[in-house]
Every structure is written in C-alpha cells, then in structure tokens.
Structure 1
Amino acid sequence: MDRHEAKVIINPTASGGKVGKRWPDLRDVLAAAGLRFSAELTQRPGHATEIARSALREGFRYIITFGGDGTVNEVVNGLVVDNQVHPDVVLSIIPGGTGSDFVRIFDVPRDAAQAFQATLGAGCRAVDIGEIRCIRDDKAVRHYFVNTAGLGFDSETCARVNRMSKRISGTIPYLAALALTLVSYRNKDVEVTVGGQLVRGRLNSVIICNGQYFGGGMWVGPQARADDGIFDIVLLKDLNKVEFLLNVPRVYRGTHLTHPKVETYQAKEVHVEAKQRMFIQAEGELIGEAPATFRILPGALKLRV
C-alpha cells in the first residue's frame, strides 16, 4: 500500500440507496483527479468502524467517507485509539446521507463530485471530538461523536427515524418521526451536571453540540463551534406538547434559544442522570443510555473538507 493512497469508505444504503448508485460516478471523478485509493463498501451496521480500524493497521492515513452522518460516526469511532487519533490521519467527508448535518458548518457542496473537488484545494483543520461514557446492555461503554449527541425526546425521535424506510431522505423522515414521538413521549426527571453546575428537574431533551445542525437541517446549536474545545449544551426543559410543536419552526432558524424553557450552557464535560430510562443518540444512531458522561477531546481530528 502506497503511503499516499486513500481509503474510501462508502455506505451504499445511505440516502435510500442513492449513495450506492452514485458511487461509480464518484469513483471515476476520484480516478480522473489522480487520487490513488482503495475503496470498500459497508455491508452492515458497524462495518465502517471495522473498515477504518483495518485501514489504520494497513497504514492508510487519508480516509474518505461517502455516506451520511451515521457513516461518519462509525468511521470516527474506528479512527480513535486510546482517546486519540493518529496525528498523521486526515479525514474527508463526502456528503451523501439523509441528513449530512455535520458538514453544513463547513459549507461543503451537497453534490458529491463538487464536495470532493473542494477537498483538493482545502487545507487541514483540527476539530474536536466528543467522548461519551454510558451504559449499553448493562455494560459500561465508550463512544465518540463529532457533531451532536442527545438524550430524551431527541434520541427517541432518532430511533423512529432509523426504523423508517430510508428511501425518503432529508427532513421529511425526521419530521414524521418527531410527530409520532410527540404523541407518546413524556418528559423525564433528569439531573445534568454541566461545568460544575447542577440542573435538576423535568426535561424534554439534553442536546450536546459540537456541530450546529441535526435532523436534516435543524439549527439546534447556532453558537457551537467544532474547533473551540468546548461543548454547547442545549436543555429543552419541561415543554408541553403545544409549546414544543410551536417551537419546531424556530429550531430551523436557530431562534429557539430565546424561549424561556430553553437553557444553554458551555462546558468541557457534562454528566447526565435520569430517574426514567433515557436513551442516547450520537449522529442519529442509538449508542446506549444514561447515566452518561460527555467529555470534549480538543482538536483530536484533522479534517479536510
């Protein structure tokens, strides 16, 4: 393997299978640009993590993902070893999934070929990674994310999205799942320790932001920066169903932060405990449940987009 060769990890099922159909064209674009690469398509959930880990062992240092936020999340979890990423590893993200929310903050073109062309002239930037320590199947686990993680209404909505058909992409599945979750969801009794401050009470959601967007374009953390070494935390407090529904449009504009039942904090570490069972999503994928601790890993990942 040539040390300058790239490993391309493709999720062919992302965006209702559109990524798989578009890959041959993108492959031709990569080859025409003179990029030396080895490509591998994922075959099952978690496979991108396995591919990324194998790529590191084989000596690859430039990794390109073509898929959605879930694919990016899996790849990042394959790149982190002992809470750090090899200093020579660089990641590029070609958006192709249902949401592709993380790269919105970098103004990455939505067209795959244009997104790749943009990487050719791009320098590397160091971005933060979020570490999550939580419970899954009664065992302590560790997981990583680069965009957003959340508990409560947020995570239950993501669970519904993942059960839906991916043939319809974008905002529609998220809004449909949101409406269905709204019918049955009950706010939780939660304790959040953020920056040494304890917040206790009934909460709708706890959202930990490294990036700014989730849910196919919802501007949930407009003040977040992926390279500032600190989380932006958004607490949706005891909103009733009507209050929640009326504020959904404000989330797309980023104006929900002024609502009296929305609180924001900044911290390098957050701890969440709940009296009721409370699941956790990272980049739209369910990864465990509370109690959970979130910690920032400043500048841990080199990104070229």
Structure 2
Amino acid sequence: MYLLIINPASGGGAGQRTWQTVEGLLKSRGIAHEALFTRSLEQAEAQVLHALARREDWRAAIVIGGDGTIHSVLGALRRRGVPLAVIPAGSGNDTARGFGIPLTIEAALDAALQDRCLEADLLSGSGGLTLTAVASGFDAQVAVNVNNSRYKRLCNAIGAGQLAYIIGILHTLLTFKPCRVSVTLDGKEQAFEQAWLVSVCNLPSYGGGLLICPQAEAGDGLLDVCVVHGCSRGQVLRLFPTLLKGTHVALPFVSMLRGRSVAVHFAQPRHAIGDGEPLGTAPLAVRCEPGALRVLTPLAAAAQVGAAEAGSCQASG
C-alpha cells in the first residue's frame, strides 16, 4: 500500500493536475494506494503521522508537490521509518533533481514504484528537519521575496518556476546590504567580512537548479557550506549565472567548507530558509544526521549498491 501525499496548490496548481494524472495511472495498473490531501504545510506532519499510524504495511509515502511539501513531512516519515518517493510538482523541484528523479510524471511514478532506495542524510536544527539546504542571507531573502510576490504565481502558471527566482535576485539585489558573519564548523570559528550569504547544503542545488554546492552528496554524512563574501553588487550579479554550472566555487570571493555541524551568526538579523521554507532570522545551528531518511530513487539501481545499502524499501512500520 502506498500513501500519496498531495499538495494541490503546489506549483501554482500543478500538484492537483499531477495528481489527476497519477491517479489514473495507479488505477490502470491496479496499485493499492490511499490519497491524503494536505490542508496546509503547518498541519501536514500531523496529518501524515495520523495516516501512517493506521496501518503497518506502507511501502512508501509518495509526495506530489514541491520541496516545501516534502519539508513539511520529513519529521513524520523519519519517525515512522517510511521511505520517501517524489513526483515533482513544485516551483524548484530540487529534491527530485538531487536524487535523479525524473521531472516527468509517469517516469517519476515508475521511480517511486521500483522499490529500491538510498539512505539520505537530514539537516537538523531548531527549525526542524531539512533535506536540500539551509540557506541564510541574500539567497534566503530572495526566497522570502519570491514567496511573497505575485510574479511567482505567474511564473508557475507558465511553467517557468526558475524565472521567478531570477526576478527575485534582481529585486533583492537593489536593497540587500552585506555584513560580517561568523561561521563555526565542527567547533572551529571563521569570520567573513561583508558576507552576502551562507548556505548549508545536503544536495547540490536549490532555487530551481542553482548548483550552490555542486559537490554535495546526500549520503556522505557531511554538510557542504558555501560562503559568498567581500564582493560588490556587480560581482554578486555576475555570480548567479555561474551557479547554473557550479563554476562559482573557483571565484576568490566564494569559500567552500565541509563538516558535520555548523553555526552561523550574522552581525545583523538575516532571514534563513530550509527547503525554501522560512526559518526566521535567529542565528543558525545545523547538524548532519547521517542516513536518517530512505529515498526511492533511480540512483539506487545506478549505483549498484549491495542489499545492505539499497535493498528493499519495505517499511518497518
């Protein structure tokens, strides 16, 4: 039995449209399933926990939505030990990208039903659990501005979710002011002047495919950290096209760090986001929780790992 977790409003209504297609495919294949529509991201975890507690034979929870919808149910899936599968229907869909999950509906469903998974790390902090990245500073402000904008809805409607982030970058660049930041990695503190952003990543990209930490691997037990500091507005603007290929890592005003825990303290209050969802403006403390989540992904078969690492994803309850 599969639990389908659907956010109908995700991606400007793409969640509802995607579910209609998936429902038809599941029925035509005779696959047992139950549908759960999330009323809000704030209530999703409680809804999912209640649903998962009703039976012990869940093979997986298949989320139809975006990174924010996935973010909202991570705690429930971890507590119940049920694997995550994704059929992307959001604006950014970076979780799907990071796990090699196809962005087309039927191919993503096929990946969800193939019963092979990888163990993935989770990022844990005061704001809860995060799967893709915890970002603070400029890019978090971009996300806040985009989420509060009218142009995000328009971009989603025409299938151009990444365009909303590009508009948001230009919007935010006009008003954002860099400041000093302290980054403490595995107990060792470093200070950066005129810092624009600090991103703590578990997957290579966020923001709709921007490769902030291209070397990040979800199952390596490590956090990958990108700090952009000591540069002008013009340099920041020229930085963002390089994020499409991850070549920014060679720039002199970009520092790449790696460790198991990180604390971030800006000299002035700065927004933070986890999986694109707001985490407030308090200083960050994030630690890696290795192998805390199982994810159904085509990468499991491609990696040709042994049964101990991939194996069956049958939930233990």
* Pair in the same fold by TM > 0.5: yes
Letter in 2 for 1:160: N
Letter paired with 1:114? A
Residue matched to 2:164: 173
Once the two structures are TM-superposed, the CA of residue 58 in structure 1 deviates from its matched residue by 2.2
Counterpart of 2:203? 211
Corresponding position: 1:151 with 2:142: no
Q: Deviations over 1:254-293 (max 9, x none)?
A: 0000010100111110011122111210111102223221
Q: Which moved more, 1:225-234 or 1:115-124?
A: 115-124
Q: Which has the higher strand share?
A: 1
After TM superposition, the structure 1 stretch with the greater mean CA deviation from structure 2, 14-23 or 56-65, is 56-65
- Distance (whole Å) between structure 2 residues aligned to residue 26 and residue 167 of structure 1: 24
* Structure 1 equivalent of residue 93 of structure 2: 100
Matched, 1:163 2:148: yes
Q: After the TM superposition, which parts of structure 1 deviate over 3 Å for at least 4 consecutive aligned residues?
A: none
SS at 1:225's partner residue? coil
Identity rate of aligned residues, in percent? 29
| CA–CA separation in structure 2 for the residues paired with 1:148 and 1:10 | 22
Shift of 1:93: 0.8
Aligned-partner Cα distance in 2 for 1:264–1:147: 17
Change (3 A) 1:30 1:233: same
Whether 2:124 is the aligned partner of 1:131: answer: yes
Which amino acid is the alignment partner of residue 260 of structure 2?
K
Match of 1:242 among 211, 234, 239: 234
Residues 246-255 or 53-62, more deviating = 53-62
2:189: which partner in 1? 198
Q: Distance in 1 between matches of 2:124 and 2:165?
A: 25
Farther off after superposition, 175-184 or 159-168: 159-168
TM-score normalised by the chain length of structure 2 = 0.87
One-letter amino acid matched to 2:223: F
Q: Which residue of 2 aligns with 1:137?
A: none
Unaligned runs of 5+ in 1: 134-141
TM-score normalised over the length of structure 1: 0.90
Partner of 2:271 in structure 1? 279
One-letter amino acid of the counterpart of residue 68, structure 1:
G
Task: Choose which of 14, 17, 21 in structure 2 pairs with 1:18.
Answer: 14
- Is the contact between residue 128 and residue 296 of structure 1 (CA under 8 Å) also seen in structure 2? yes
| In 2: Cα distance, 1:126 partner to 1:117 partner | 19
Pairs aligned (count): 288
Q: C-alpha deviations, 1:135-157, integer Å up to 9, x for none?
A: xxxxxxx4110111100001110
Shift of 1:119: 2.4
Unaligned runs of 5+ in 2: 298-317
